[in-house]
A and B are shown apart, each in its own frame.
Chain A
């Protein structure tokens, strides 16, 4: 697990360097989602092949919270979908690394996301396709918690339950902060687990920063045969960087050069560029 922790922290500092470079980005959500992404891609959960990004039998991962592209791109690069060096071009003119992911530009991206509430329906469709074709790939989608305010997620949830999509796993990055404020001050999300279970999902709440817990739950999918899974990953927005932790202003805060070095020291890694 130690190597996963190191990898997650490397993803964190790379994402922050990218945000510093572009002076745009979503640091808070990058930091909260880094551990989930690391376990999926570098913990051996997802059956993907960087040499064949369109390999038909691959597991599908859809980054519905597309604004957290910093952590997502850093994870894809670490998994070998493109050179880590390329991360330096984040949001540069004509870069393949858009502010939000573009599947037609960047290998490893399954769906174009950015506007919220798009990932879950696409994931449902991909899971349905596997059932129709008798194939065994699995579909994972990572949503934000504020994102669940978009009704399309619940339309997708009803469909997933109706069609018994036990090859689908929805992961909620439950960091409790959205762009403007804490989620509960904006639109109350709690109680979140009963919402998903009442929609027919097998639900598990985990510490979204505990790699052992994450790996254990990912390795035991589906939680119940015949049911889609929802994993609520309780996380901390800005996790790992004290000045950013749990602060709404860091939803899309941009680190200064000095803050970048402070973050690196706290994370126990070096500033990459």
Chain B
């Protein structure tokens, strides 16, 4: 576990795709192995400028995700470091066998960037929501899975990905988020970031929900309840130590994710607790349902993935929700 940031979040919000594309451009300028592969998703992956700057290292395979992931594997075979970018709902689901065989099993040095993940495409409906990707990708052996929380962490995760020799899945949202990390923050693979300390209850989350968890911690503090907040950006490898420590030092754990809880962050944390230190748990996320239509913000509220929802889950866990 690394100790991170102040509780204060920035007032301004950011689209993490900007940090991702800007960093990819910088990395490509410095390293000739970096290339990008897209599925007709130039604008939604924010790679228009990359395409202009590096036309010879930009491949658009069209609407063909299975091929796209295989092409990524072949580029890696040829010594390139491909960033295979597309909407997470299609990138993962349509190419799942390629992700398993061509990336996980084969260990090719390919970085999958699942954009607009979770319920970011809210109104477009369940076909475009990517609530399964966390579960699908984290069970593939050899595949590293990371969900950055803000622009700084996105940039750091991108830079880390180029140093990491092996396949990775980066889950990147388009829902605007405030900065939650200060400038001194350093992403470390396999280490949760301690965002707020507390001994009463632990909230474990990642991605766009970290800022909301920090709001929940403030609300709980007003009730005299001190919540530990962990940014579990590294889904695989998972920070077992931080989870077990939280189970020992606090009275229970609330996991919060913009995904199905089955197999996702909730499932992952539950596996650790069941094997190492059983503790009371609540899981916020999507139960066994597809989300209805509605804006991303609406859907987050609908599934209680907001500060109030986290407060209620914490109080319920502590037996104080009367």
Residue of B nearest to A139 (CB): B74
CB distance from A124 to the nearest CB of B (A): 5
- Decide if B61 is an interface residue (CB 8 Å cutoff): yes
Let me know if B106 and A155 touch, CB within 8 A: no
Known: A104-B107, A128-B59, A159-B61. A111 touches B77 (CB 8 A): yes
Chain B residues near A56 (CB-CB < 8 A) = 79
Q: How far is the CB of B242 from chain A (nearest CB, A)?
A: 31
Interface residues of A in 104-125 (CB under 8 A from B): 104, 110-115, 117-118, 120-125
Q: Which residue of chain A is the closest to B80 with respect to CB atoms? A: A129
Q: How large is the interface on A (under 10, 10 to 19, 20 to 34, 35 or more residues)?
A: 35 or more
Q: Which of B65-73, B221-229, B255-263, B267-275 contacts A (4 or more CB under 8 A)?
A: B65-73
CA distance A117 to B98 in the complex (A): 10
Residue B165 interfacial (CB < 8 Å) = no
What 1/0 mask marks residues of chain B from 182 to 194 whose CB sits below 8 Å from any chain A CB?
0000000000000
Do the beta carbons of A121 and B101 come within 8 Å of each other? no
A118 and B59 contact, Cβ closer than 8 Å, known pairs A103-B106, A112-B101, A132-B80: no
Residue B57 at the chain A interface, CB threshold 8 Å:
yes
Q: A121-B66, A121-B98, A159-B62 are in contact. Are A128 and B71 (CB under 8 A)?
A: yes
Instruction: State how many angstroms separate the Cβ of A169 from the closest Cβ of chain B.
Output: 14
**Could you jot down 15 A-B contacts, CB within 8 Å?**
A112-B102, A118-B70, A118-B98, A118-B101, A118-B102, A121-B66, A121-B69, A121-B71, A125-B70, A126-B77, A128-B74, A133-B78, A139-B74, A152-B67, A163-B59
Residues 228-260 of chain A, each 1 if its beta carbon lies under 8 Å from chain B, else 0: 000000000000000000000000000000000
B26: interface (CB < 8 Å): no
User: B267 to chain A: closest CB distance in Å?
Assistant: 26
Number of A-B pairs, beta carbon distance below 8 Å: 114
| Bitwise interface map of B from 264 to 282 toward A, beta carbon under 8 Å scored 1, else 0 | 0000000000000000000
Q: Establish whether residues A125 and B71, one from each chain, have CB atoms under 8 Å apart when the complex forms.
A: yes
Whether the pair B77, A121 counts as a contact (CB closer than 8 A) is: no
A126 and B75 contacting across the interface, CB-CB below 8 Å: yes
On whether the beta carbons of B98 and A125 are closer than 8 Å, the reply is no
Instruction: Evaluate contact between A125 and B64: CB separation under 8 angstroms.
Output: no
Cβ-defined contact, A132 with B74, below 8 A: no
Q: CB distance A127 to B74 under 8 Å?
A: yes
Contact of B35 among A60, A114, A132, A155 (CB under 8 A): A132
Supposing A129-B77, A132-B57, A159-B61 touch, asked if A120 and B70 sit within 8 A by C-beta, the answer is yes
Known: A118-B97, A118-B102, A152-B66. 20 other contacts (CB 8 A): A104-B106, A110-B77, A111-B77, A111-B102, A113-B101, A114-B101, A121-B68, A121-B69, A121-B71, A121-B98, A122-B102, A124-B74, A125-B73, A125-B75, A125-B82, A132-B75, A132-B78, A139-B74, A152-B67, A159-B64
CB proximity of B213 to chain A, nearest CB, Å: 39
Interface centre among A114, A121, A125, A159 (most CB of B within 10 A): A125
Q: Is A158 an interface residue (CB 8 A)?
A: yes
Q: What A residues does B72 contact at CB under 8 A?
A: 125
Assess whether B102 is in contact with A156, with CB atoms less than 8 Å apart.
no
Tell me if B288 is interfacial: C-beta within 8 Å of chain A: no
The residue in B56, B62, B78 that gathers the most chain A C-beta atoms within 10 A of its C-beta is B78
Is B76 engaged at the interface, CB distance under 8 Å to the other chain? yes
A267 to B64, CA, bound (A): 44
0/1 string, B75-92, CB within 8 A of A gives 1:
111111010000000000
In Å, the complex CA distance between A60 and B73 comes to: 13
**Cβ contacts A120-163/B at 8 Å (1 or 0 each):** 11111111111011010101000000000001100110110011
> A96 CA to B78 CA in the complex, in Å?
24
Q: Are the C-beta atoms of B71 and A122 separated by less than 8 Å?
A: yes
Task: Provide the bound-state CA to CA distance between A155 and B71, in Å.
Answer: 10
- Tell me which residues across on chain B come within 8 A of A130, comparing CB atoms: 78
Kindly list chain B residues whose C-beta atoms are within 8 Å of the C-beta of A113.
101
* CB nearest to B70 among chain A residues: A121
Q: Which residue of B lies closest to A157 (CB)?
A: B67
B105 at the interface (CB under 8 A from A): yes
- Which residues from chain A contact B71 at a C-beta distance below 8 Å? 121-122, 124-125, 128, 156, 159
Contact B102 A152 (CB under 8 A): no
**CB nearest to A124 among chain B residues:** B71
Task: Specify the chain A residue showing the minimal Cβ separation from B78.
Answer: A129
**B78 x A121 contact (CB < 8 A):** no
